[in-house]
Chains A and B, each alone.
Chain A
Amino acid sequence: MLNSKPAIDPSLPNPFLGGIVPDAWRGAAVDVPEIHGDVYSQCLAAVQTVRTEHRSSSLLIHGEQGSGKTHLLARLQRRLTDTATYPDLEDDWQIFVYLRMRTSSGRIWRKIRTELVTDLMRPMPDGLTQLDHVLAKGLATRCDGHADLALWWDHHRQNRMEELIDAWHETAMQLSLRDDFTQVLEWFIRGSHRRHVRAYLSGGLVSEEGFRHLFGNVDPSHYAPDTEDDAFGAVKALCHVAGPQIPIVFCFDQIEAIEVEDSAHKPVWYLARAVADLTDEATVAVISCVLATFADNEIRVQDRPRISSGGQIALQRLDARQMRQVIRSRVAAVSATATAAGSNEQWPFADDEAIFASRLTPRELLHAAATRFDELRGQLSVKTPFASETTPLERTFEKRVDEAIREQKPEDTDDLIASTLPTVLTIIEPGWTTEYPVGAHNSKRDIEVVLVGPGGEARVGVALCNQPSMSSLAAQLNRLIKNRETFGLHKLVLIRDGRLPISPSAVATRNRLDQLTKDEGVLLRPTREVMAVLDAIRSLIADATCGDLAFDGQAVGVTTVRKWLADHLDLATREWVDQFRLPPRPGWNDDAPANDADVDAVLEFLLDQPLATVNAASQSTGISETRISELAAVASDRMGVISGEPPVVFRVVNSKSPSARGKSAQRSDDQ
């Protein structure tokens, strides 16, 4: 007898929706420990090796898209950073660092440094940062500390600070720690200037005011080279502070997303080289997750044993028993379906269901289960036809642009442009290639990359000029003036994030800028919107490259994404990229800098007071009130004016501006 009644109550929520774990710090709520349990154990064994044998251990994990690499790292993160039970000083402890390798091969160490510091400064459930744990455990051994770590640390920092500082300086001396880090970490222990401490340790943007707080009246250019060598040194120094007693666990994910500078090598080649250096120079645990799509000969012979010193292992597809466990855990995680299932462990799928017929990755299983669940509750899934794949891509892209507008910071600008500009250029006009100049004339990497037009018809040098310190910027511009001829460029493009003002009082800097942009040179001041679009492009391409972009359970390849971007990039972004590949348009040099100079003047005024009357701004900068209102319309991503009595001008920090919304609409219209 046929029965049309759905097998499952249609009002029940589908417990199998949502599959991709965004990153190791935001793991899935549902976990089945037995899945990849053997690999997980190897990860813990690597950490233990560092602690007990005082030597580095590096595990290489292969896993195809959707096999649960990031999920595994999230499980590891929960285990290694679990402070819910308030650890004692005597307890084993370790530092978890998660790195999604969305960068270029020439900036790997800077990426590692930034992410290491970001995660060291990440607060744990007990309220302390990971760096607090490192320092507390390290100093407790000198101060005869014991029992609850957080209480001991708080007590000493409140009541026995000088004792702590003495112990810290002894520790630093024994470690031969560089002076600047000793000083900066002292501020951290004291709980002062932590924003500047973080920026300095991570090689980020430290304002001149920040330098004064950290070091007194010392020339900032002396301290912030922000090179790969300096970043490597910083990473080593921080690893030495932790030591093998507190193993730092570096987890590398999305390795395939590294933009390679030399196409003869694949991303994993660069990462393996970095891991070899890291494990040679510091005692750390490394876990590298890669897609199962590179051959053994794609790593240097000497790096292979280092990147897999703790083992090399592949994530297996799930067998029927494991698939049952995943389904049961998902059902149990949602109260409505858990109630519906009751004690029936088979619910909602019988053993003869097609989804159990072959071994699947977790992502494939969840998609199949979600689809089948919908069928059983009478809601047939609508399959997205292949031809309309652009729709979810478009939605995803828009969402990521919006997120980037909120979250992208000027500190990320160098890395973002270096790793994305070559890609975007080739998407818009295939045939462009890149060169990375080396030699004495570029020892400080004043020119980040030279873009070479099809057939070598054009050589465009790109210089990243995002230093917060005017003296550092002036020094870079000076070197560029001296060495410009050596690069053999047809055009020079200087990039300074529009959110970083150039002080009107920085006369030398402005003169040098004028000199460099006089002939075949331009200064670009990318807006928040442009940077957000670049960020979204990078994340979309990175996810597709690493198999982490999937719609309807089907992975979307990077070739598909590139084609889609080529057809759908908005006009504003295309025009921005055109400034690299085309000669400057007539009049551009005359108009834009004038606006930028005035905007910079107002922004500098607003640095100290984010909100002020237009009249006060006008009096301080010498720019008329009417002009300030006009500038607010032109640079709405950086500043705004609120009409009223009196009208006020304010600095835009982190919100989506009206123009961004306008551009989103424009992108939709274009499509």
Chain B
Amino acid sequence: MSTRTPERAALPPPESPEAGRRRSVVLRGVLARWGLRGTAILYLGLMIALPTFAVIVHGFSDGLQSLRDALAAPGAREAIRLTLVLGAVTAIVNVIFGTLVAYVLVRYEFPGRSWLSTIVDIPFAIPTLVTGVMLRALYGPNSPIGSFLEGHGIKVIFAQSGILLALLFVTLPLVVRTVQPVLLEIDETEEEAARVLGATRWYTFRRVVLPKLRAGIAAGGLLAFARAIGEFGAVVIVSGNIVGRTLTAPVLIFQLASQFKPEEAAAIATVLFGISFVLVLVTERLVRGKAPA
């Protein structure tokens, strides 16, 4: 995910109003402009627009019948419900802790701060399947921690809590890196003024910082949710894919596709994809829409 800052309040605008209207040198010349523009349109059109359209058309090729058939499959409804619930829990938990981590990274100086920042980015670099494998190594029935927990009746691997851990892992940087730039822009002097006037740190956070953070936090949470409901690699190896208990929607889509039921798979996929896409669009508006203080 990009960690770009939405607005750079610190930098002066690099162009005068007239300069903004001038074309870039690189695009000078009709041939260059249309050549580049055409390439970009072809690239995105063929690689993204076309496949998306194809799946949506396929999903609705039978009208809503494909969707009804898909939902009638054993465990389908539970899978969708589980996916949405786990996605929501993931988003909420990581919004709380992710915001905390972002706050700590931005406002505090302490030894190991850059290490913390790097560790937060680990989920961006690690393959999702390897994430699942790591969780299995740590909490699986054959591991010391796993067998200890199972002795107390807590099952992590091949249970919903394992899925949750996997989802929390992969979405943490999304929240932290979405909230962090917003925090960076908030003027610290307002917080300092509040402290000087006698407010506790918690009160300051609640009344001064949080209102400004709302858009960033919402964006982070929505991104985490969208990501979580689509997660496959980590989930497939950690959950055991038990129908009705730990089967999630993405795994269900995969199973339907492998069973050569592409219409049903596409129907559920379209629903899932629709939710995610709308969320990402809303997030973009939230992140871009807020004006610097």
Do they bind each other?
no
